[in-house]
């Protein structure tokens, strides 16, 4: 449910960006969403289509690039994708620790015309 306010915010930013740059309408909004960001891309896309009615974003595409979470090994320092039920490093006998990779949530670009 918390995707609704954040989607409204994204639409506001896209509209402002369009006006500020003399565009007539928004063609696409490209988002980057990490799997651990706490936001569900599909929900944002559904809200986006509803909220954008009668705005400069009407008919625009909401493209979402997802980011797989990565752990960093506490021994060798390599980044790796967490496997189910384990934090073991695949390169050595170290343990993976959480990183910021996978918590991304931002607008990558906005296409206007
Ligand atoms: Zn390691």
Domains of the chain plus CATH, in order, are: 3-68+101-112 (3.30.2320.50)
Measure the CA–CA gap between 38 and 73, rounded to whole angstroms: 23
Q: 70: CA distance to ligand 1 center in Å?
A: 13
How confident is the prediction along the chain (113 residues), in pLDDT tens digits per residue?
Answer: 689 999 999 999 999 999 999 999 999 999 999 999 999 999 999 999 999 999 999 999 999 999 999 999 999 999 999 888 999 999 999 999 999 999 999 999 999 99
Q: 97: CA distance to ligand 1 center in Å?
A: 10
Report the alpha-carbon angle 86-70-7, nearest 5: 120
Are 112 and 27 contacting, i.e. CB atoms less than 8 angstroms apart?
A: yes
Reported as a single tens digit per residue, the pLDDT across 59-76 is 999 999 999 999 999 999
Q: Distances in Å between the alpha carbon of 58 and those of 24, 27, 85?
A: 11, 9, 43
Longest CA–CA span in the chain (Å) reads 56
Predicted confidence at residue 1, as pLDDT, reads 64
Q: List the structure tokens of 89.
A: 């490093």
Q: 39: CA distance to ligand 1 center in Å?
A: 30
Q: 85: CA distance to ligand 1 center in Å?
A: 17
């Amino acid at each position: 449910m918390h995707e609704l306010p954040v989607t409204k915010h994204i639409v506001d930013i896209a509209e402002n960006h369009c006006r500020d740059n003399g565009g007539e309408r928004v063609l696409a909004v490209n988002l980057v969403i990490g799997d651990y960001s706490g936001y569900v891309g599909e929900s944002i896309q559904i809200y986006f289509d509803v909220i954008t009615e009668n705005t400069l974003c009407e008919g625009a595409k909401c493209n979402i690039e997802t980011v797989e979470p990565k752990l960093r090994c506490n021994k060798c320092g390599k980044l790796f994708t967490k496997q189910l039920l384990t934090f073991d490093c695949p390169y050595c006998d170290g343990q993976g620790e959480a990183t910021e990779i996978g918590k991304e949530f931002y607008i990558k670009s906005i296409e206007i015309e």
